[in-house]
């Protein structure tokens, strides 16, 4: 159901539960100095997903694999900025004042209203303000207010994805940068999580001139070792004012790249097909910048389901997007200026 952000969508959830998690996540894809850039800033609170803290990151290195033997290989990032700080839960502050929810931790403050969301950074690496303005209706996990999605057996996720126009001014390594672009403001809440049951997950948000969307596609394992499948998402076609809930999502990797610092292959180009009642969205997504690595862990002694030796890769990959939406009556909507993020999570044997 098409709806817009409400004030309680912005407040922390499940603070009374001993196990829970919230995020206030801001991104911007923009051009500066003739190059693509991707900025991410986030405040997290709770016990899952690494716990309470802040994250600040900037990608400007193109994703440019080189051929080594029969593989495409990517080395270290050169101009990457990454700030990750964990904090005790009592460092998290939240207050409601009139029409604004203010969330604070360490170097970051988020001022969240229904019509815009602002994040302020005092960090020396990236300092300034970024404002997200919704492009239209908000997209809700489970397509309902306070919906709870069983992403895996034993997991419960809810939240909002507000696809946004983004502007602001940031001082980056002493240089003032005017930012105009597109991104997302996300507030997601989790009251139960079985992280290690996940095998492959692709979460994607996309902004184009004609459309915006988010989707989550997850393959995992149940307690008894049998497969478990989940998918969720929404497409909004702007000129047509069509709000479309996804019925089936397919991710089909076409090329792979080896991240040498993390000793893992990742999909670098994927075909994505998203079916709805009114038609099908067909896209190609290509990693455009060096990804933000959230977790890269080898667990050689770990045994799960009679397999010993596992690897966790969890990262946000900025993407460029092309494609079209085809209505069942034959009308098509071609996409232009498509940008976004493919968050990839892989928990697989070594």
Superfamily of domain 7-349 in CATH is: AttH-like domain (2.40.370.10)
Number of H helices, E strands in the chain: 0, 25
Q: How far apart are CA 237 and CA 210, in angstroms?
A: 6
| Residue 203 structure tokens | 């979460």
pLDDT band at 77 (very low <50, low <70, confident <90, very high): very high
| Residue 31 structure tokens | 């051009």
Calculate the average pLDDT of the chain: 96
Amino acid 216: pLDDT:
98
Domain boundaries, the chain: 7-349
Q: How far apart are CA 300 and CA 350, in angstroms?
A: 8
Q: What is the pLDDT of residues 236-294, one digit of tens each?
A: 999 999 999 999 999 999 999 999 999 999 999 999 999 999 999 999 999 999 999 99
pLDDT at 321 over 90: yes
pLDDT at 300 over 90: yes
Amino acid 17: pLDDT:
96
pLDDT band at 64 (very low <50, low <70, confident <90, very high): very high
Coil, strand or helix: which one is 92? coil
pLDDT, average across residues 118-141: 97
b/e code 112-145 from CB counts within 10 Å (16+ = b): bebebbbbbbebeebbbebbbebbbbbbbbbbee
| Residue 333 structure tokens | 């909507």
Q: What is the pLDDT of residues 179-228, one digit of tens each?
A: 999 999 999 999 999 999 999 999 999 999 999 999 999 999 999 989 99
Which of these, 235, 337, 323, 248, lies nearest to 285 by C-alpha position? 323
| Residue 169 structure tokens | 């001014």
pLDDT band at 25 (very low <50, low <70, confident <90, very high): very high
Q: How far apart are CA 137 and CA 77, in angstroms?
A: 36
Say if residues 249 and 272 touch (Cβ distance below 8 Å). Answer: yes
């Amino acid at each position: 159901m098409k709806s817009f952000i409400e004030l309680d969508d912005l407040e922390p959830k499940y603070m009374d539960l001993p196990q829970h998690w919230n995020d206030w996540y801001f991104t911007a894809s923009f051009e500066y100095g003739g190059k693509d850039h991707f900025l991410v800033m986030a405040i997290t609170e709770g016990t899952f997903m690494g716990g309470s803290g802040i994250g600040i990151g900037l990608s400007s290195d193109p994703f440019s694999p080189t051929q080594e033997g029969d593989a495409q290989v990517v080395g270290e990032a050169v101009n990457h900025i990454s700030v990750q700080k964990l904090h005790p839960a009592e460092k998290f502050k939240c207050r409601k004042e009139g029409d604004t929810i203010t969330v604070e931790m360490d170097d970051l403050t988020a001022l969240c209203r229904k019509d815009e969301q602002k994040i302020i950074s005092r960090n020396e690496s990236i300092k300034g303000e970024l404002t997200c303005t919704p492009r239209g209706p908000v997209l809700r996990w489970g397509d309902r207010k306070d919906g709870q999605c069983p992403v895996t057996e034993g997991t419960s996720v809810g939240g909002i994805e507000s696809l946004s126009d983004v502007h602001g001014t940031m001082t980056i390594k002493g240089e003032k940068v005017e930012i105009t672009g597109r991104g997302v403001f996300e507030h997601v809440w989790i009251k139960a999580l079985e992280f290690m049951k996940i095998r492959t997950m692709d979460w994607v948000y996309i902004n184009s001139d004609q459309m915006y969307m988010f989707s989550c596609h997850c393959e995992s394992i149940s307690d008894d070792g049998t497969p478990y499948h989940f998918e969720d998402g929404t497409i909004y076609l702007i000129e047509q004012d069509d709000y479309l809930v996804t019925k089936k999502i397919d991710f089909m990797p076409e090329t792979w790249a080896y991240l040498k610092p993390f000793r893992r292959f990742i999909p670098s180009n994927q075909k994505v097909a998203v079916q709805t009642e009114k038609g099908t969205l067909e896209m190609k997504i290509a990693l455009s910048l060096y990804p933000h690595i959230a977790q890269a862990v080898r667990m050689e002694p770990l045994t799960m389901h009679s397999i010993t030796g596992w690897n966790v890769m969890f990262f946000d990959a900025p993407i460029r997007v092309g494609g079209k939406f085809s209505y069942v009556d034959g009308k098509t909507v071609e996409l232009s200026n498509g940008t976004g993020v493919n968050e990839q999570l892989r928990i697989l044997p070594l």
